[in-house]
Amino acid sequence: MNLNDTEKAMLAGAMGEARQRAIIQQIQVGDFFDAVDFVPVAQAHIMADTESLGEAGVCFLEDLANEAEVDNQVCIPTITDPRGADFNTYKQINHDPAYVALEKRADQAFRALGVLMTDTCINYQTVIPPVRGEHLAMGDTGVVIYSNSVFGARTNYEGGPSALAAALTGRTPRYGFHLDENRLGTRLFQVKEQPKDWSQWGALGGFIGREMGSYYEVPVIEGIDVTPSSDDLKHFGAAMASFGSTALFHMVGITPEAPTIEAVFEGTPPAPHVISAKDMDAFFATYAMDDDALDVVVFAAPQLSLYELERLAKLLKGQTIHSDVALLIATNPENKRAAERMGLDDMISGSGAILMEGVCFYQMHARELGEANDWTRLMTNSAKLVNIISGYGYEPVLSDMERCVHSAIAGRIVR
Amino acid sequence: MSDLIIKGHLGIGPKASGEALVATDNFSARYDLDRIKGIFSRPAHKLFEQGYVGKVLVLNIAKGGVATAWMLHEMASRGMAPAALLLNFANPIIAQGAAFGQVPLIDRFDSDITTMIKTGDQVEVNPATGDVIVTQS
């Protein structure tokens, strides 16, 4: 890689050992992807829940936190993805205190580095929205795909250690979606059935993600004749990124780099893959069960917006969750405070549902939580969550928000 | 018995060797593995319930979330990591995780790597050159 004087100084150790280690790691990745040089980034977003970090990762962060402040402080605004434990509600869900203690250590280490603990995967809805053309180092697949696609910003998937390296160096190797040539469409999908709710937007995204090959494939979607909301596109993108390894999509007439189909293809567009109502039914059927047993209902992945919380609050107001079922909701600290101020939290909590902050269900030792609470059958409106959670020993059911809530109240899956 | 040399893109991490565990499926440490037991835990994965520790894992594409970047380091710290990863296409997360955890990784071979190596083959991996040497079983 070509390095400028600042980068050469970092590599030589003139700006401290932490930045030297960070840039060495970044150069290895840059060489792997044939990056020619670095690009400065405006923000970094770090995924570092303790389930992923483990003891080894937390010790790594603590060692970094113990280095001299001149060496270890992040040099661009740096925020965090959902954490592995909610310090307020962990007892209610029998979360192992050992994991909570580990989470506290990670939290303190990050604060010592100058990281802003936003604990969110919906920073684009609640912290600072990206700007078209802005180069970023975003560390959550849902955040990456939304930033690239809906805002036209430029970021690759930056895993925790990599986003932290970018936070320390203020740059990232220029490869992948930082480059114009990788932002054109490679596949075309034609939607015949308009998604009607968040679970259907997620299912559509999941269907397309499942069809994707390598990270460099960019799906283009035509045939959407409604204007999706931010939450619609949030579920759509998060599921696509989860089922695939997809970091950018274009939606013709809706996303900024795709005013027309011609704008996102070089030459003649490929023949479209038509997605029918039957395809969507088949997708939902993958996550349906023959019986109506139910243990836990989860609204998460991504964290809920204020509007999603409002809809849930209205559905739960005056209701009581069945004693055999748990209903868990994950949002970020900003929306939790807002929900408290606006009376939504009372409507939600009054039903027996648990509103967690700064976490996401699959990032908080979901396997151990399942064992501690005897949870196997899980119902959710998140297509992203059903994709992830079977690996943790759950039997996931995908349905819309209303049916999920009605099922939690009935204590069994309501069809 | 003969040695086969397969050429990939320059990789990341130190030299390694081990017995191959091969499938045409994709790979994500968070979605697919029980990292405590060291087995594939996603029922839909072709390697479901098979142990991966110390194996040269040969799979198609890196898929799914960002957690693998930390998890390779975490698995390596407990001696529960694969010996190496050979993929048709890595994504940034796997590459970043390999760099952070110093887990050997090579991708972008001349042809489909999952058809060129069989489970049980003895494999040597040299990321610095992108070479994979297979002693066929």
Q: What CATH number did the domain enclosing A362 receive? A: 3.30.499.10
Nearest to B13 by CA among B91, B88, B115, B83: B83
Instruction: State the average pLDDT for chain A.
Output: 97
Nearest to A51 by CA among A92, A89, A82: A82
Chain A: give the shortest CA distance to residue B1, in Å: 32
Chain segment B30-49, per-residue pLDDT in tens: 888 999 999 999 898 999 99
Please tell me whether residues A233 and A202 are part of one structural domain. yes
Q: What is the pLDDT of residues A87-103, one digit of tens each?
A: 999 999 999 999 999 99
Phi-psi region of A228 (alpha: psi -120 to 50; beta: other; left: phi over 0): beta
Taking the Cβ of residue A213 and every Cβ of chain B, the question of whether any pair is shorter than 8 Å is answered with yes
CATH no. of B3-135? 3.50.30.10
Instruction: Tell which residue, A394, A387, A398, has the closest CA to residue A373.
Output: A394
pLDDT at A222: 98
Least confident range of A28-32, A272-276, B23-27, B61-65: B61-65
Mutate to test the interface with A, among B12, B96, B107 (most CBs of A within 10 A): B96
The predicted model gives B68-76 an average pLDDT of 92
For residues B92-98, average pLDDT: 94
- A306 in the same domain as A261: no
Instruction: State the pLDDT at residue B64.
Output: 67
From chain B, the residues in CB contact with A22 under 8 A are: none
Q: pLDDT for A286-301, tens place per residue?
A: 999 999 999 999 999 9
Task: Please list the alpha-helical segments (H only) found in chain B.
Answer: 29-32, 68-77, 92-101, 113-116
* Whether the Cβ atoms of residue A389 and residue A378 lie closer than 8 Å to each other: yes
Residues of A in Cβ contact (< 8 Å) with B26: 245
A369-387 pLDDT per residue, tens: 999 999 999 999 999 999 9
Q: Is 60 exceeded by the pLDDT of residue B19?
A: yes
Structural domain boundaries, residue A299: 288-410
This complex has an ipTM of 0.93
Per-residue pLDDT tens digits for A184-195: 999 999 999 999
Residues 6+ apart with CB under 8 A from B6: B109, B110, B113, B116, B117, B131, B132, B133, B134
Residue A166 pLDDT class (50, 70, 90 cuts): very high
With respect to residue A67, please indicate whether it lies within any of the assigned structural domains.
Answer: yes
Question: Of A259, A285, A311, at which residue does a domain stop?
Answer: A285
Question: Is position A208 within any domain?
Answer: yes
The whole-number pLDDT of residue B30 equals 81
Verify that A22 and A54 share a domain, yes or no. Answer: yes
Number of domains in chain A: 3
Q: What integer pLDDT is reported at residue B1 of this predicted model?
A: 57
CB-nearest partner of A28 from B41, B66, B99: B99
Q: B14 CB near a chain A CB, below 8 Å?
A: no
Segments of A11-128 assigned E as strands: 38-40, 44-46, 78-80
Confidence category of residue B67, pLDDT binned at 50, 70, 90: confident
Contact B92, A139 (CB under 8 A): no
